[in-house]
Amino acid sequence: MDDRKVYIVRCGEVALKGLNKPYFERMLVERIKKMLKKYDHVEVKRHEGLIFVRADQKIPAEEIIGQISKVFGVASISPAVEVESDIDRIGEAAVEYMLKLIEEKGIHTFKVEAKRADKTFPIQSPDIGKIIGGKVLIGCKVLKVDVHHPDCLLFVDVRRDQSYIYEQKISGFGGLPLGTNGKGLILLSGGIDSPVAAWMMAKRGMLIEAIHFHSYPYTSERAQEKVEELASIVASYCGRFKMHVINLLPIQEEIVQHCPEEETTILVRRFMMRIAERIAQEKDCTMLITGENLGQVASQTAEALVVTDASVKMPVMRPLIAMDKVDIMDKAKEIGTFETSIQPYEDCCTVFLPKHPTTKPKLDKILNSESRLDAEGLINAAVESTKTITIYPRD
C-alpha cells in the first residue's frame, strides 16, 4: 500500500460549473501542482469529484495544508487515512486512528458520520456509521458516543477502490482557480487597500499584473521596497507576476505648476489611470483594478470616481468599493499584508497633497485644466520610462 500521506481536497464554486466543471477542476489541479512543485514525490489527481494529494511522510502536514489552502478554488482540505473498502479493514483503521487522537488530543467523546459514495458497497451509510462506531467503542475503551457535541467528528468516506477516514475539514479561501477569468492590471500602492483588492480579484480566477507609481526622490527607495514586499505576499497566492514601475514626479510637477491646487489629486489620479490603461493594453490585460473605497478620501467620492473613470475606456474593477475600512483591515491581516502596509513610508499620493482637495469635481472644469498640459506627451514619456520587475512569491 502507498505509504505517503493522503490529503482530500474539495472544490468550492468549481463544483457548480456544470458542463465546464472538468475544465475548472483541471485548472485547479494544475494550480495545486504548481503550488507544491518545490516538494519531491508529490502526486495530485482528480478522482470521483475530489482531488487527492499524496505526499511524502517526511513533509510536515502543516506545510502541505498551508500551501494547498492558498490555492484559489479550494474549499477545504482533510488529512486522511486511506484504507481498503472493506468494513473490517475500515473498522481496524478507525480504531487505530482514534487511539492516536486520544493520545494526541485527549478526546473523550466522538460521533461517526459515514458516507457511501460507492452505491454498490453492500452496507448503507447509516449502518456503516453504526458498525464503525461500535468497533471504535470496543477498541477505544475510554471513548463514549456524543451525537450532539462530540470532541471528535469522525468521517468515513467509502469509495469504490479505497475508503478514507479523517476528522478535520480545514477551510481554504474558495473562489475560482487562477487563469479562469482573464487578466487585470492592479494599481498597487504601499497602502492597506490595493494589495487586498489584487488578492480579491485573483480569488475570482483573474491573473494579475501590477503597476506602481512613485515620486522619487520625494519618495524613498525603502518605500519602493515596501511595495515589492507587499507584491511578493500577494504573489504567494497567485504566483509570480510582473510589476511595472513608473516615476510620476514629472507629471505631478507640471500639474502643480499649471493647474488649480484643489484639483491636483483628481488630475494626478486621471493621469495614473491613463498610463495604467496604456500599460494594460500592451500586456493584454482586459481591465484595471484599484483599491478605491467609496468616500474614503477626496479622490474616492462618487463624483471623483465618475471623473476618474471618464479618463479611460477600459473597465475599472473596484472590489473594495462598499467595504468598511475595518473589514478591509481584517482581510489584510488574514492574507498577511497588513503589517507591511502600515510601515510608515510615503507614497506618491502624499506628494503635493493640496490643503483643500475638491471632493465634487466637475468633468468640464477638469478637462479645462488638463488642456493647459501636454497630456499626451507626459503620458508617452511616463510609459517610455517604465521599469518592469518580476515579483516572486515570498518564501
Q: Is the pLDDT of residue 32 over 50?
A: yes
Range of lowest pLDDT (20-24, 61-65, 188-192): 20-24
| Residues 149 and 193 reside in one and the same domain | no
What backbone torsions phi and psi does residue 54 show, to the nearest 5 degrees? -120, 125
| Residues 122 and 193 reside in one and the same domain | no
| Residues 263 and 135 reside in one and the same domain | no
List binding-site positions. 187-188, 212-213, 269, 291, 300
Range of lowest pLDDT (38-42, 74-78, 365-369): 38-42
Q: Is the pLDDT of residue 350 over 80?
A: no
Helix ranges restricted to H, the chain: 21-35, 61-69, 87-105, 125-139, 193-203, 221-238, 249-258, 264-282, 302-309, 325-335, 338-341, 363-370, 375-384
Average pLDDT over residues 364-382: 96
The strand order across the sheet containing 183-187 reads 316-317, 287-289, 183-187, 207-214, 241-247, 387-391
List binding-site positions for ATP. 187-188, 212-213, 269, 291, 300
Q: Is the pLDDT of residue 15 over 80?
A: no
Last residue of a domain, which of 171, 195, 219?
A: 171
Last residue of a domain, which of 171, 191, 213?
A: 171
In angstroms, the CA 153 to CA 323 distance is: 36
End-to-end CA distance of the chain: give it in Å, rounded: 33
Query: What CATH number is given to the structural domain containing 86?
Result: 3.30.2130.30
Q: Is 276 contained in some domain?
A: yes
Query: What CATH number is given to the structural domain containing 276?
Result: 3.40.50.620
| Residues 306 and 346 reside in one and the same domain | yes
| Residues 230 and 160 reside in one and the same domain | no
* CA atoms within 13 Å, Cβ hemisphere of 90: 28
Q: Is 178 contained in some domain?
A: no
Average pLDDT over residues 100-121: 94
pLDDT-derived band at 61, boundaries 50, 70, 90: very high
pLDDT score at 71:
95
**What's the domain range around 325?**
183-391
> 25 by DSSP, 3-state: which?
helix
User: Following CA atoms 344, 350, 356, 361 in sequence, which dihedral angle do they give, to the nearest 10 degrees?
Assistant: -130
Q: Encode pLDDT of 181-214 as tens digits.
A: 999 999 999 999 999 999 999 999 999 999 999 9
DSSP state of 106: -
Q: Is the pLDDT of residue 1 over 70?
A: no
Number of domains in the chain: 2
Q: Are strands 109-116 and 152-158 parallel, antiparallel or unpaired?
A: parallel
Average pLDDT over residues 18-24: 80
If one counts every other C-beta atom within 10 angstroms of the C-beta of residue 173, the result is 18
Q: Encode pLDDT of 129-139 as tens digits.
A: 999 999 999 99
| Residues 45 and 166 reside in one and the same domain | yes
Last residue of a domain, which of 119, 150, 171?
A: 171
Q: Is the pLDDT of residue 18 over 80?
A: no
| Residues 84 and 150 reside in one and the same domain | yes
| Residues 136 and 9 reside in one and the same domain | yes
If one counts every other C-beta atom within 10 angstroms of the C-beta of residue 191, the result is 18
| Residues 92 and 193 reside in one and the same domain | no
Whether 252 contacts 375, CB under 8 Å: no
What backbone torsions phi and psi does residue 183 show, to the nearest 5 degrees? -140, 140
Q: Is 177 contained in some domain?
A: no
| Residues 210 and 353 reside in one and the same domain | yes
pLDDT score at 356:
85
pTM: 0.91
| Residues 89 and 167 reside in one and the same domain | yes
| Residues 111 and 64 reside in one and the same domain | yes
If one counts every other C-beta atom within 10 angstroms of the C-beta of residue 6, the result is 19
